[in-house]
Structure 1
Amino acid sequence: MNQDFNHIQSVYWVFTQLCNDDCDHCYNDSSPFGKRISHDDCMAIIDNLPNKMDRLILSGGEPLADKKLLYAILDKLQSRYGNEIQIMLQTNGDLLTKQKLQTLIDKGVTRFDIASIDRYHKKAGGRLMELAELFESCGVIGTEKDPLIEGGHYLTENPLSWGYWGASEDMWLGGNWARGKALKNNIWLKDPSHNFCTILSGARNFLGGYSDIPQEISIQLWRINPCCPGTHFPMGDARKEKVADVLKRASQNAVFKMLNDGNPLKMGESLGISEEAAAEKNEELKNICLYCDHFMKCHKNEIFDEKGVMATLEKV
């Protein structure tokens, strides 16, 4: 496990839940009425990010639905980090124009991922060829290579690139996480054998120490999470705390260490709860995210102190 959390491979930041679309499967309730945080909050979060990041993913919601805030964030990132990080924008592409694309490039975005090529989104991939021409007109190279998964350093040989993907029943965005509108609309994956913690965007390796999957944390608006679905209670508040300090505390907490290992059914071992008992409850709830929520709610006072700060828990 890492000891210096002032350098992290990847941070996934949903800075807005405002969106032009209102997809049935959206795990964070993004919509035209989605939650937002202030300009000052976003500036404080940037100040609290690790000193070094290989990649920062900006997502939503739809980032371009909150365009003024997105541009301010990019300016602040440029001021703090210069060209030392790869900035990726995850967008549905609906609001992208040539002028906006060029502005984003000028403000330091080097990777664009169109995350809407599926039946859940309004345009269902119908704009893909138009977007391909748009990217080509601005010198953005289309590639299937994922700069997070492939290659150790993310300032790649082709630093300006784009790719596309979408939700499917086989992928984690296909209404699988028991979260948000997927939960409300009953399209979450009912499969207790599926361990979301071990896949990209799950909790495994959020503290580092493994080489099979990149190190990544998630910030949902201000909530610091070990995974994109997010634990029921966040690890910390990125508006008020240094992210590196929060991760350091997590590295000393037996529950979150098990999440880092990708073993959510072993989260309770330090509290006397056997893996067998956890597996039985998970089977009942039919989804590991729901089991994680259940566990956190039942044991909040043992995992966190009265101020909501993670306690130091040693494995028994």
Structure 2
Amino acid sequence: MMTEIKKDFNHLQSLYWVFTQLCNDDCDHCYNDSSPFGKRISQEDCMAIIDNMPDHIERIILSGGEPLADIKLLHAILDKIQDKYKGKTQVMIQTNGDLLNPAKLQVLIDKGVSRFDIASIDRYHKKAGGRLMELADIFDTCGVVGTEKDPLIEGGHYLAENPLSWGYWGASEEMWLGGNWARGKAMKHDIWMKDPEHNFCTILSGARNFLGGHEDIPNEISIQLWRINPCCPGTHFPMGDARKQKVSEVLDRASKNFVFKMLNEGDPLKMGLKLGVSEADAKIKNEELKNICLYCDHFLKCNKDKIFNKDGVMADVVE
């Protein structure tokens, strides 16, 4: 039985935005090709994207790339977010921490950031976690409380009860946001996870619950630069362009499209049931490709004309 999808797409629980792929590091496993030469978008585009975000968002996660590598743009984004949401949206930053110092941290706090996640405590990153104790001192100096809880998953009112906090995590072969997505440098360096049984769609960073209806993980979407996606890896064709389209309208259209409903269920192997692709055939192809993200790419490419019109807008593939 399919989950009953939410109706109000002008209210999101969580929005994850990679606003830059510029980074001071150049990690082998990076799924979005972040590096000192990473892709960037203009401040004008970023302002338009914020204008097109839903009116109510419980938390916005700003990531990269390395957000502090594009610090002028980061500051402009934070100012615009505060202007739009008036402090009612929890603002979080994912950073490798390499560029952080007390002065920069205090500015970010003053501009409304209340949660910091150090996402570099592993062997892939330049500092390989060697700066962790120094970062702990920096956070302590500015009154930021350290915690091991994950504010995206730990229940209910954790963020409201801990308005200024930080935590850390890192990559491993067994667990890097559920495994190495077949994307970016992980793909180029052949360290993507070759396991067709591992379903990335079912985890927080996957597509499951991007349209709502499930209670066990937050309702979260991803914007990669300007691409509106149901998941952090991103579908081969984005659902829409946040520079030009209202995010709530794109999600409303996705909620009427059977393919994206199946992604919301975390079940990509059923995406083609209304398009003549059986679950058994999808499983065979997934086994061949060895990665559910690659199967999703394959399916969307093969069925693009049925899922999107000639302008790239989602068609009504309904039940």
Q: Is the 8 A contact 1:92 1:114 kept in 2?
A: yes
Q: Is the 8 A contact 1:7 1:50 kept in 2?
A: yes
Q: What is the TM-score when the length of structure 1 is the normalising length?
A: 0.98
2:74 paired residue among 67, 70, 76: 70
**1:261-300 correspondence runs (5 A):** 261-300=265-304
Look up the SS of the partner of 2:166 in the other structure. strand
Task: Report what 1:242 is aligned to.
Answer: 246
Look up the SS of the partner of 2:161 in the other structure. coil
Look up the SS of the partner of 1:269 in the other structure. coil
**1:226-237 correspondence runs (5 A):** 226-237=230-241
Matched, 1:16 2:20: yes
Distance 1:272 1:148 in 2: 37
Task: Report what 1:182 is aligned to.
Answer: 186
For residue 127 of structure 1, what is the amino acid of its counterpart?
R
Report the alpha carbon displacement of residue 173 of structure 1 after superposing the two structures with TM: 4.2
**For each residue in 1:275-303, what CA deviation from the matched residue of structure 2 results, as whole angstroms up to 9, or x when unmatched?**
00000000000000000000000000000
**For each residue in 1:69-103, what CA deviation from the matched residue of structure 2 results, as whole angstroms up to 9, or x when unmatched?**
00000000011111101000000000001000000
**For each residue in 1:31-90, what CA deviation from the matched residue of structure 2 results, as whole angstroms up to 9, or x when unmatched?**
000000000000000000010011000000000000000000000001111110100000
Task: Report what 2:98 is aligned to.
Answer: 94
Q: Point out 4+ residue stretches in structure 1 off by more than 6 angstroms.
A: none
Task: Report what 2:62 is aligned to.
Answer: 58
Matched, 1:106 2:73: no
- The runs of 5 or more residues in structure 2 that have no matched partner are none
Report the alpha carbon displacement of residue 144 of structure 1 after superposing the two structures with TM: 1.1
Q: Is the 8 A contact 1:56 1:85 kept in 2?
A: yes
For residue 296 of structure 1, what is the amino acid of its counterpart?
L
For residue 203 of structure 2, what is the amino acid of its counterpart?
I
**For each residue in 1:212-254, what CA deviation from the matched residue of structure 2 results, as whole angstroms up to 9, or x when unmatched?**
2111100000000000000000000000000000000000000
1:48 paired residue among 48, 52, 62: 52
1:122 paired residue among 116, 120, 126: 126
Report the alpha carbon displacement of residue 151 of structure 1 after superposing the two structures with TM: 2.5
2:165 paired residue among 150, 161, 167: 161
Distance 2:102 2:309 in 1: 50
Percent identity for Structure 1 against Structure 2: 78
Distance 1:109 1:78 in 2: 10
Check 1:175–1:20 CA distance in 2 against 1; reply closer, same or farther (3 A cut).
Answer: farther
Task: Report what 1:196 is aligned to.
Answer: 200
Look up the SS of the partner of 2:58 in the other structure. strand
Q: Please, what is the CA RMSD of the aligned residues?
A: 0.9
Bigger shift: residues 153-162 or 282-291 = 153-162
Q: What is the TM-score when the length of structure 2 is the normalising length?
A: 0.97
Check 1:199–1:286 CA distance in 2 against 1; reply closer, same or farther (3 A cut).
Answer: same
Q: Is the 8 A contact 2:170 2:176 kept in 1?
A: no
Look up the SS of the partner of 2:315 in the other structure. coil
Bigger shift: residues 263-272 or 143-152 = 143-152
Distance 1:4 1:175 in 2: 32
Look up the SS of the partner of 1:302 in the other structure. helix
Look up the SS of the partner of 1:66 in the other structure. helix
Task: Report what 1:301 is aligned to.
Answer: 305
Report the alpha carbon displacement of residue 153 of structure 1 after superposing the two structures with TM: 3.9
Number of aligned residue pairs: 315
Distance 1:125 1:235 in 2: 36
For residue 165 of structure 2, what is the amino acid of its counterpart?
S
Bigger shift: residues 231-240 or 145-154 = 145-154
Task: Report what 1:172 is aligned to.
Answer: 176
Task: Report what 1:210 is aligned to.
Answer: 214
Q: Is the 8 A contact 2:178 2:203 kept in 1?
A: no
Report the alpha carbon displacement of residue 175 of structure 1 after superposing the two structures with TM: 6.0
Task: Report what 1:258 is aligned to.
Answer: 262
Check 1:173–1:199 CA distance in 2 against 1; reply closer, same or farther (3 A cut).
Answer: closer
